[in-house]
């Protein structure tokens, strides 16, 4: 066998092998190139995703609704109780040193208040300041501040009353980095990402440490930087997949290429999830501070800031309300991290870990403090703005709500409704509505329209019920305006039967089931006589009555049948508030509104409600109606509210509907016009009249407020005269049935009472006799002095011609 000997020459590649190698290399190169292109395209896509959201609209920010601010100035009608309640609603803390915002100190009747400040718009910003004010006799006697005020008015910031939230159920309060305390930033970086200011989005050391700990059985750690956490929360989800982690790392690097560390940190502080408030999530440290402590971030202690930072690891696990011990341990871990990095001293650390958590039991943030009023604001906003804009654009709405007045309304309704419900079976299911406004501005200040839980049915505006005698002043307003009647004119309260269009008849009765015959017009209104009102209303016509309601601002459909004269028309408390607002302001109608200003998230004013006041009825007519409504309080069905103070000159009208189904009272002081309705949702009889059902609620509410008198000066078209009561004729103060009353100057009475005529004739006779005696005295004097005595005939003739120049009526009217 021949032995095989290897050749010393290398085996050379065949052309086929070379070709295969080139093909493989080319394919590999193409794969790499395609992969790089695809990776580049993918990175471009990720980059666009990052920049589009980060530079655009980052979050759907809810609209926040606030009350009006409390205006403080020398002479303002602000008492100690008002200041106390306002500070409580703002969660100000009593502190003798008052060195921090949100703190105050009271010494005797003097307050030192360190305000938080408030941004009303880009050009209207109240800085934080310390206010010193002294209160005496229910008003501010002196006031000083560390900030100069050009107007002399210092505003205590408005109270948050609720929000309008986005559909994704995320809630947040966006804060700038400048508003975040440095200790909170130190705590966050010490705990979550110590190399935040050194890495470029991804920390290799952090990833390695996490891998080692996870494989060696140490405490499980994530290697994510703050930037990666922001990417996960802002752009991605929490899936534990390699693809998601890879995307997270790539996007973190890209994010850091585009934006500064401060921009990234600020976004993280506002994005981080820190708990749940019912259906809504708590996002960002600004909102979390309010949710857990009812304070802004800059008023938190270091240990409280550390608690919030600790919750970032797991808001459910470290929820301080549910798991206080776990939350405290986590807080102390964060504090220890700060100590290790030298961000706090050992002394501060020792003091901080001994502090209680300090979390409030129930958060005010996210709760609609006054849901009925907030509902009114939403309804008004919906007339102007799209729903998505209200939910997502971060609007700030300054409402007209006065929180102290609203609390008075809530407490009055709760107290008096409770008393009425205990009366019997008819009243156990009683409900009520109360609306109150500033008559001069039309600003709504308080609303009660639902039960203990708001269900969406707001009786203040949704309960369309018959209003009964609340409309009677409109009937008498027509009569007075016509000039046929004055306040003392006689009206007939005898039985009346009205024939209806279908051939049937209607015979109204008085509530006391009695006939009162001829009574003065003012008495008929004060005592709320039905028969007199119907007779008067039919004299001028139902169509005239409807037109008058339109003048007063009623927009609802009004039936044209006669029973509408007694209030058989379905109107809401808000409708009636508008009517009585006109009476309270001398005849001017200013639309009732619940919003002062709407501001966008850039501080620009989108809406400012100005005074849209129009003359509704003549001032002289309104003056007479106001006088008549004051008579209802002085001598009529609302006499009980005289207890609030006879000097207040209160005016108003009770209302009761058929079978005692609805009880109403509408009335006003100088600074509040308010309407109360009491009834049952099923429209069954409650057995209460306006005076026994609604009036006690109104009285209790108004008693809780600081009222000013009704002061309505008589306009030019008014004359004051003595009139005979129940005839309206001219009279004299010496007559037994005379009243000194305002009368329209264009329609003065042309007749005088027999008593006044007798007195007038006697007075004229005495005047004539006195004149004659004086002339005789003068003549005797001239005769004694030897002077010529003028021709008496000439004197008599001149005197007679002077008297003939005046009519008897003109001379008598001046005398009367």
Q: Angle 182-192/302-311 helices, nearest 10 degrees?
A: 40
Backbone angles phi, psi at 431, to 5 degrees: -125, 165
Asked whether the beta carbons of 353 and 333 are under 8 A apart, the reply is no
Report, in angstroms and rounded to the nearest whole number, the Rg of the chain calculated over CA atoms. 40
DSSP assignments along 467-496, one per residue: -GGGGHHHHHHHHHHHTS--TT-EEEES--
Which tokens in the block code for residue 742? 């305002």
Which tokens in the block code for residue 405? 């007045």
Q: 22: which residues sit within 8 A by CB, 6+ positions away?
A: none
Check if 469 is active-site: yes
Q: 288: which residues sit within 8 A by CB, 6+ positions away?
A: 274, 275, 282, 308, 311
- In angstroms, the CA 66 to CA 670 distance is 25
Q: Which of 192, 380, 481, 620 is catalytic?
A: 192
- In angstroms, the CA 303 to CA 355 distance is 7
Backbone angles phi, psi at 521, to 5 degrees: -55, -45
Q: Exposed/middle/buried for 227, CB within 10 Å: 0-12, 13-18, 19+?
A: buried
- Locate the DSSP E strands across 216-277: 273-277
Three-state secondary structure call for residue 421: helix
- Locate the DSSP E strands across 488-537: 490-493, 498-499, 505-506, 517-520
- In angstroms, the CA 612 to CA 395 distance is 24
Beta bridge partners of 499: 505
Which tokens in the block code for residue 93? 């803390």
DSSP 752: B
- In angstroms, the CA 506 to CA 396 distance is 54
- In angstroms, the CA 601 to CA 360 distance is 29
Q: Which of 399, 469, 674, 731 is catalytic?
A: 469
Beta bridge partners of 112: 105, 132
Q: Angle 182-192/226-234 helices, nearest 10 degrees?
A: 90
- The alpha carbon of 22 is separated from its chain's Cα centroid by a whole number of angstroms, namely 81
Cα–Cα–Cα angle for 138, 144, 147, rounded to 5 degrees: 135
Catalytic residues: 192, 469
């Amino acid at each position: 066998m021949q032995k095989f000997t290897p050749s010393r020459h290398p085996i050379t590649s065949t052309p086929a092998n070379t070709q295969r190698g080139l093909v493989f290399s080319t394919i590999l190169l193409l794969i790499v190139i395609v992969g790089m292109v695809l990776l580049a395209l993918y990175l471009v896509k990720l980059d666009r995703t990052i920049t589009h959201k980060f530079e655009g609209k980052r979050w759907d920010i809810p609209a926040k609704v606030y009350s009006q601010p409390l205006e403080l100035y020398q002479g303002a009608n602000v008492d100690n109780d008002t200041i106390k309640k306002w500070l409580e609603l703002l969660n100000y803390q009593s502190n003798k040193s008052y060195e921090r915002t949100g703190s105050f100190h009271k010494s005797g009747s003097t307050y030192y208040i360190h305000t938080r400040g408030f941004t009303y718009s880009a050009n209207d910003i109240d800085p934080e300041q310390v206010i010193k004010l002294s209160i005496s006799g229910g008003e501010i006697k002196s006031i000083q501040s560390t900030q100069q005020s050009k107007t002399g008015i210092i505003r205590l910031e408005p109270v948050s009353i609720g929000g309008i939230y986005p559909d994704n159920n995320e809630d947040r309060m966006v804060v700038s980095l400048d508003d975040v305390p440095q200790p909170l930033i130190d705590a966050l970086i010490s705990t979550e990402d110590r190399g935040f200011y050194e890495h470029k989005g991804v920390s290799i050391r952090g990833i390695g440490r996490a891998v080692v700990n996870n494989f060696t059985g140490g405490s499980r750690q994530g290697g994510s930087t703050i930037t990666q956490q922001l990417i996960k929360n802002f752009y991605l989800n929490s899936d534990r997949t390699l693809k998601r982690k890879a995307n997270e790392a790539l996007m973190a690097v890209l994010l850091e290429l585009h934006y500064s560390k401060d921009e990234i940190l600020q976004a993280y502080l506002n994005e981080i999830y820190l708990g749940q408030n019912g259906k809504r999530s708590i996002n960002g440290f600004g909102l979390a501070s309010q949710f857990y402590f009812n304070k802004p971030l800059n008023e938190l202690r270091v240990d409280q800031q550390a608690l919030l930072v600790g919750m970032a690891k797991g808001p459910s696990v470290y929820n301080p309300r549910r798991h206080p011990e776990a939350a405290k341990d986590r807080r102390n871990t964060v504090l220890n991290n700060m100590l290790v990095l030298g961000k706090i001293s050992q002394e501060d650390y020792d003091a901080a870990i001994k502090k209680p958590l300090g979390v409030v039991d129930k958060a005010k943030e996210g709760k609609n403090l006054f849901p009925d009023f907030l509902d009114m604001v939403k309804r008004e906003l919906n007339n102007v703005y799209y729903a998505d804009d209200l939910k997502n654009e971060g609007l700030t709405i300054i409402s007209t709500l006065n929180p102290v007045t609203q609390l008075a309304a809530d407490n009055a309704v709760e107290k008096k409704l409770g008393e009425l419900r205990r009366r019997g079976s008819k009243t156990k299911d009683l409900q009520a509505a109360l609306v109150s406004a500033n008559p001069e501005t039309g600003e709504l200040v308080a609303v009660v329209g639902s039960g203990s839980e708001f269900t969406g049915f707001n009786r203040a505006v949704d309960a369309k019920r018959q209003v009964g005698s609340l409309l009677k002043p409109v009937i008498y307003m027509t009569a007075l305006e016509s000039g046929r009647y004055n306040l003392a004119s006689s009206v007939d309260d005898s039985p009346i039967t009205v024939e209806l269009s279908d051939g049937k008849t209607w015979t109204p009765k008085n509530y006391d089931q009695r006939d009162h015959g001829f009574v003065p017009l003012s008495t008929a209104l004060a005592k709320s006589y039905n028969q007199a009102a119907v007779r008067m209303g039919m004299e001028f016509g139902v169509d005239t009555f409807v037109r008058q309601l339109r003048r007063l601002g009623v927009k609802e459909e009004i039936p044209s049948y006669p029973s509408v004269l007694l209030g058989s028309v379905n109107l809401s408390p808000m409708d009636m508030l508008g009517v009585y607002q006109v009476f309270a302001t001398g005849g001017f109608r200013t639309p009732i509104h619940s919003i002062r200003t709407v501001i966008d998230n850039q501080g620009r004013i989108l809406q400012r409600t100005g005074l849209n006041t129009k003359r509704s009825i003549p001032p002289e007519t309104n003056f007479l109606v106001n006088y008549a409504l004051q008579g209802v309080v002085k001598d009529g069905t609302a006499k009980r509210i005289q207890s609030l103070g006879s000097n207040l000159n209160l005016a108003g009208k009770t209302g009761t509907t058929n079978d005692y189904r609805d009880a109403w009272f509408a009335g006003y002081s100088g600074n509040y016009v308010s309407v109360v309705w009491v009834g049952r949702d099923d429209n069954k009889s409650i057995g209460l009249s306006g005076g026994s059902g609604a009036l006690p609620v109104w009285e209790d509410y108004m008693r809780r407020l600081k009222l000013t008198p009704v002061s309505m000066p008589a306009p030019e078209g008014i004359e004051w005269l003595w009139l005979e009561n129940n005839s309206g004729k001219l009279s004299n103060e010496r007559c037994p049935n005379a009243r000194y009353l305002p009368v329209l100057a264009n329609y003065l009475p042309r007749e005088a009472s027999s008593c006044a005529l007798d007195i007038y004739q006697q007075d004229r006779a005495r005047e004539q006799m006195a004149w004659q005696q004086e002339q005789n005295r003068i003549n005797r004097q001239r005769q004694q002095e030897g002077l010529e005595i003028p021709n008496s005939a000439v004197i008599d003739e001149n005197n007679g011609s002077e008297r003939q120049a005046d009519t008897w009526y003109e001379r008598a009217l001046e005398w009367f």
